Chain A
Amino acid sequence: MLPTSEQQALIEHPISSKVFLQGLAGTGKTTAGALWLQKLILSGIPPHQILVWTPQRALAQPYLDALRQMDQPVFSLLNTITLGGLARRMVDLFWPAVSRVVGVANPDLPPHFLTLETAQYYMAHVVHPLIVHEGLFSSLTINRNRIYSQILDNLNKAAIVGFPHHEIGDRLKSAWIGDVEQIHIYDDVQVCVNHFRSFCLAHNLLDFSLQVEIFLQHLWPSALCQGYLTRTYRHLIIDNIEEDPPVAHDILRTWLPEFDSALIIFDENAGYRYFLGADVESAYTLHRSCSEMVHFSDNQVQSLPITHIQSGISRAIASLNRKPEPSADLMPEDIRAGLETPGEKIKYFPAMVDWVADRIRTLIDAGVPPGEIVVLAPFMPDVLHFSLANQLDALGIPHRAHRPSRSLREEPATQTLLTLAAVTHPDWNLLPKRINLAFALMQAVNGLDLVRSQLLTAYTYKEFAKENAFPLQPFEVVPPATRDRITYRVGERYDRLVSWLHSASQEDPQTLDFFLNRLFGEVLSQPGFGFHNNLESGNTIATLIESIQKFRWAVGAQIGPEPFTIGKEYLQMVQDGVIAASYMHSWEQPDEDAVFLSPAYTFLISNRPVDYQFWLDIGSPSWYQRLDQPLTQPYVLSRNWQEGDLWDAEDELSAAFDSLHRLSLGLLNRCRKKVFLGMSELDVRGYENRGLLIRIFQQVFQQAQKGAA
């Protein structure tokens, strides 16, 4: 595709320029960035001297693609980086140079980098006793895992906004105007933060927040690290700078003068990741470090009706927010062309799903590629995802989701392996219920259905076996008539499995991950067993084993219990939902030409425009309300928060309007042709919701009527 005139003008800047490029989504900024990259390389700059910085790795893909698509030979590779990746990599490389001053107890030992999962584990390890024995958070009734994750969230915010972690509690308290209970909660948060940080320092554990702090406070200012970075990277391209947190901007501000060239791309009206610390104001200040400002205004995506609807939404929000704007030219034909709602009122949510599926089918019958359709909701709860997926399956329409619907711990393959591990280690006192074992055996042994598996375990499984006795007995204990029913072939496989488990139970303790590697390789993936040709389950089990391995590395080395205790601890943490709660990746290449089912923010951040969007559950306040997070507050912990200010209902409402404004405009910037509004009187949980988004669209329809009059 030929560059637009705006893109052409940009790439005509000399390569020594430092350009701040801004514009709305859909104006071709990333494409221009990719063209800029190609121009750099064509001018003889080797790709390894170019750094592409994005808030998320996936956002660097257009640049990697642009490099690959070049006709002339490319002799090295591009470096793409995120703030977190840079911090982690620099700490790893230069650890010995700073480890004596960062406060860890063992500066001559390497650090242990915590994953999200292991950080959550250690947070539970530190905070659980405080909850149980010291009565912290006694007024809160939320799930403990949410307590742990919100405390981590606070620590991470302090690191990426750039204030000391010991100020978290005071900052939260200073903005609070409600009851005193909440003040106690914030005090408890600070106690937990302090305990966790001390624990990490005592054991050389680096969670995300500590990695970022060490990088910012000790490495970035050092000549060693900064010299390495400035020598290595001579040219910079940053995309979606508005989605990065303020400390990223601080680093870039001091780094920019060192680069031979820079292109910084700023998406106007975005900053969708504010709840992850994105800071639009601080991002924008980077324009002062650039010699050129370029503005893109030609939308390459939207049709005119969508542009008019976008203006209509802006006006509706302004009017609801009591800041009316002059009315403009929204006409009924814009609505007809750019918006569609169900013809009749829909009462229940399943009927709304039917309507959505029917409209999607109509579009596809008319020749629309499935990849040009996206179905959005503020969240995509399992029940909504399943209903939609079932309907689309029934119509034979390909679809994909931003994530599979089951977490690692819920995967049948995971449950099978962990159940068999528990059976092999009766000393853990975690023997499974009979039905769970029956389910696991059904997965593990070919030819065993649930009915026969239950029959089998009724005779062979001693659920309450005494004194750590191995609880499974051979097939021969099953009465002959039942054996006939189960079949001897299946019985022989069952015996092979049990005999393997029994021998393993007699061996010296081995780590849980290697035990599962062997169980999988030597039995469960052999002919006659459930995972023999099941490549997808192989991936699931590999993920499980990797999670256990990382857990062992992080936990075993630091706290030092016996390997078997780690296995038991892991199993308990899975049962408590602390770990293995993340969603499985699919290793299958996603089918790009498929209807995409996604939470609205995930779609926004993926930066991929489509022809048709379905917005579901538009009565829901979740389109604009903050998550209920009693232990944290993204606005108060941001850099823009003024000390001494109080967060009140008006702030909350204004924040709601602001996020709704950005979200709806951002979605429309990524829509070429039409938006379908999915509405039912009762939502997916059976509640009647009439949130702001419905009211905004009502105003938009009224504006169009006025436009006609």
Chain B
Amino acid sequence: MILPDDFVFTQSNLQDYLDCPYRFYLRHIRHTRWPALVVDDAVAFEERGQIGARFHRLLQQYLLEVPETRLTDLAAADPSPDVLNWWQDFLINVPPWLSGIRWVEATLHAQLAGFHLAAKYDLVLAQPPDGLVIFDWKTSKKRPRKEWLLNRVQTRIYRFILCKSGSALLKNATVEPEQITMQYWYAAFPTAPISLPYDARAHEKDQAFFTRLVNEIGSRKADSFFRTEETRHCRFCVYRSHCDRGTQAGDLAAFEDEELENETDLQDLDFEAIEEIEF
């Protein structure tokens, strides 16, 4: 096994593995940074990522009870008009759904087949009588189909880990799958959140799926993380030159069409992964 003992599986590294085992190997085991572009229009891509991050930060601040008026000031001063529009839509639509006990940016951890899994949630809400709602804010322009979201690694792992480890939030009370709902809120479609309730069957399937997946990854040797045969993944993969899978980055519109997301920063599990300044 070449996975380090302290390796933690997350939605983004598992998605990488499912897209391409070799990408997983390069990025998460070898820590190889390969500074090519993900998409052709790097400026727009960066800008969208930053706007999304600023909006996420506003919501986080709202949930931590920073005064709403100040947040509105910041949204109004934001260089992107999207932020103020989304913010206003949020204020109109979302707060009524937020009653209950909140855990903002909570990180949960689970052990599975001897491996570590973790998920960082935008918001987990405990609602009477015993519901647990996972909120996830999205700023992508498109709203995907429900079926697509149901199969997404993020949906599966978020619900699965909350079911296994939610007791850490609930003073050790166990969590049944039926208590859990995953709620995606798309800022561009503010009145139509997508709600994905969990159940025991889905939980069983997830248990089998993640067990098989982590065992498979854990048992691979360095030379058996093969390059994907689905070359469409290579268009938006920075390693494409290293793999002889093309010269130019794929275009941004196609990236968005494929409902891919540029959210790596937001999924960072490590609060302290900022430059540690020592002078």
Listed in ascending order, the chain A residues whose CB lies under 8 Å from chain B are 44, 46-48, 56-57, 64-65, 68, 73-77, 79-82, 84-85, 88-89, 92-97, 99-100, 106, 108-110, 113, 115-116, 149, 152-153, 156, 208, 224, 228, 276, 510-511, 514, 516-518, 520-522, 525-527, 532-533, 535, 538-539, 541-543, 545, 587, 589
Contact = CB atoms under 8 A, between A and B. Distances in A.
Interface string B166-202: 1111001000000000000000000000000000000
B211 to A, nearest CB: 15
B36 A535 contact: no
Nearest to A536: B32
Given A44-B172, A85-B272, A276-B278, A75 B110 contact: yes
Given A75-B168, A511-B43, A535-B32, 10 more contacts: A75-B167, A110-B54, A115-B277, A224-B64, A521-B247, A525-B241, A533-B242, A545-B35, A587-B31, A589-B4
Sort A-B residue pairs by CB-CB distance and give the 9 closest, nearest first.
A521-B36, A75-B168, A542-B33, A75-B165, A108-B77, A525-B241, A96-B70, A46-B168, A542-B35
A85 B276 contact: yes
14 contacts: A57-B272, A64-B6, A75-B164, A77-B269, A89-B271, A96-B73, A228-B64, A514-B37, A514-B43, A521-B37, A521-B240, A532-B241, A532-B242, A589-B4
B241 A526 contact: yes
A73 B110 contact: yes
Contacts of A116: 275, 277, 279
Interface string B223-260: 00000000000000010111010011100000000000
A96 B71 contact: yes
Contacts of B278: 56, 84, 276
A407 to B, nearest CB: 16
B37 A208 contact: no
A96 B59 CA distance: 12
Interface of B: 4-6, 26, 30-37, 42-43, 54, 57, 60-61, 64-67, 70-71, 73-74, 76-77, 106-111, 116, 118, 164-169, 172, 238, 240-242, 244, 247-249, 269, 271-272, 274-279
Nearest to A529: B241
A156 B73 CA distance: 31
A276 B278 CA distance: 8
Contacts of B4: 589
A119 to B, nearest CB: 8
Contact of B279 (A92, A152, A517): A152
A517 B64 contact: no
Given A75-B108, A542-B33, A108 B271 contact: no
Given A109-B77, A224-B66, A521 B271 contact: no
Contacts of B60: 93
Given A84-B278, A116-B277, A153-B279, A517 B36 contact: yes
A62 to B, nearest CB: 12
Contacts of A74: 109, 111
B272 to A, nearest CB: 5
A58 to B, nearest CB: 9
Nearest to A553: B50
Contacts of B269: 77
A76 B276 contact: no
Nearest to B275: A115
A108 B75 CA distance: 8
A588 to B, nearest CB: 8
Query: Which secondary structure characterizes the binding site on chain A?
Result: helix
B172 A587 contact: no
Nearest to A60: B272
Contact of B271 (A73, A85, A228): A85
Given A48-B168, A57-B276, A228-B64, A525 B271 contact: no
B276 A56 contact: yes
Contacts of A75: 108-110, 164-168
Contacts of A516: 35
B148 to A, nearest CB: 29
Contacts of A47: 109, 168
A68 B108 contact: no
A465 to B, nearest CB: 28
A521 B35 contact: yes
Contact of B109 (A77, A521, A522): A77
B168 A76 contact: yes
B248 A522 contact: yes
A523 to B, nearest CB: 8
A545 B60 CA distance: 30
Contacts of A156: 279
B123 to A, nearest CB: 14
Residue from A64, A93, A511 having most chain B Cβ neighbours under 10 A: A93
B168 A539 contact: no
Given A96-B73, A153-B279, A68 B5 contact: yes
Nearest to B105: A93
Contacts of A587: 30-33
B201 to A, nearest CB: 23
A293 B242 CA distance: 58
Contacts of B77: 106, 108-109
A510 B42 CA distance: 10
Contacts of B42: 514, 517
Nearest to A550: B275
A92 B168 CA distance: 27
A543 B275 CA distance: 13
B108 A525 contact: no
B244 A527 contact: yes
Nearest to A535: B32
B33 A538 contact: yes
Nearest to A45: B168
Contacts of A522: 36, 241, 247-248
Given A110-B54, A208-B277, A520 B74 contact: no
Contact of A525 (B34, B64, B272, B279): B34
